[in-house]
Amino acid sequence: MTLATLKDVLTPAYTLGYAVGGLVTLGWEDMRAYVAAAEAENAPVILQAGPSCREHTPLPVLGKMFRHLADSATVPVVAHLDHGYTFEDCQIALDSGFTSLMFDGSRKALQQNIDETAAIAEMAHAAGISCEGEIGFVGYSGGEGSNGTDPAEAAQFAKESGVDAMAISVGNVHLQENKEGGLDEDRIRQIDAMTDVPLVIHGGSGVPVEQRTRLARETSICKFNIGTELRMAFGNALRDAVTRDPSRFDRVTILKETHDPVEAAARAVIRAFGAPPQG
């Protein structure tokens, strides 16, 4: 078994200067392809169950799926709750076998965010697993705007919340389909100078690949969440499989044809983070 906590995979990344992919899952087909990609690249991987995934599949089922994949993997696999909005979300994930809890209190006032995140971190650490928090709000493409992370608030949050990793808002946007944007490197370096915790970029699909690679090497950013570009790879592969033969109706046959394209896309994502060979 290579089931790992978030701290297990981010501590060496922080020390050696690389990042680990937090790959956003929606179902069995993509999570299986992500683990295959990680094994092919001999790199760790973080399987993430976000809100849309949890709407489709209950957390207790997702926990078993993640752990099943980790059981047979040869590289570290983290079972990560992404954007848990309540203590109950996080408690259910912990009880379901997740090894990392991300509590999102980023819409709340600073002290409330610190207090509630600290309670989640305490619960996680008591169970021997990890906790990620968020300071500053990362907006959504076509939706809510961002509220950039204040470096001084980040320093206070990192010190008082007890998190193992801290997500920041530095020009990143959720659900962005192109890579025309980029991160605010001055703000990142200010936050980096005032904290000593691994940093996380949500909405990583919109970040140019060159910038991902360089910031993983040069800063404390140790985790990039990647969802949209992998969902696009899955959707394109599924569309091709369906339209290639309109007479087919067996979904297992059709879904199998998404595996190789999604694995290839995930391999490219993982490779760019620069993790050294595992083991």
Question: Is residue 278 situated within a structural domain?
Answer: no
Q: Which is catalytic among the residues 8, 30, 71, 82?
A: 82
The pLDDT of residue 204 is: 87
Query: What sign results for the dihedral spanned by CA atoms 238, 240, 246, 248?
Result: negative
Segments of the chain scoring below 70 in pLDDT: 1, 139, 141-147, 174-181
The pLDDT of residue 177 is: 56
Containing domain of residue 29, as a range? Answer: 3-272
Question: Is residue 279 situated within a structural domain?
Answer: no
- Concatenating the DSSP letter of every residue in 205-239 gives GGS-HHHHHHHHHHSSEEEEEE-HHHHHHHHHHHH
Question: Is residue 60 situated within a structural domain?
Answer: yes
Question: Is residue 98 situated within a structural domain?
Answer: yes
**Per the structure block, which two tokens stand in for 59?**
């957390």
The pLDDT of residue 240 is: 95
The pLDDT of residue 1 is: 56
The pLDDT of residue 187 is: 92
Question: Is residue 264 situated within a structural domain?
Answer: yes
Instruction: Give the domain CATH number at 164.
Output: 3.20.20.70
Q: Is 260 a catalytic residue?
A: no
The pLDDT of residue 95 is: 98
Number of domains present in the structure of the chain: 1
Question: Is residue 277 situated within a structural domain?
Answer: no
The pLDDT of residue 143 is: 64
pLDDT digits (tens, 9 = 90+) for 65-120: 999 999 999 999 999 999 999 999 999 999 999 999 999 999 999 999 999 999 99
**Alpha helix locations (H) across the chain?**
6-16, 28-41, 51-56, 59-72, 87-95, 110-126, 151-161, 185-194, 209-218, 228-244, 251-256, 259-272
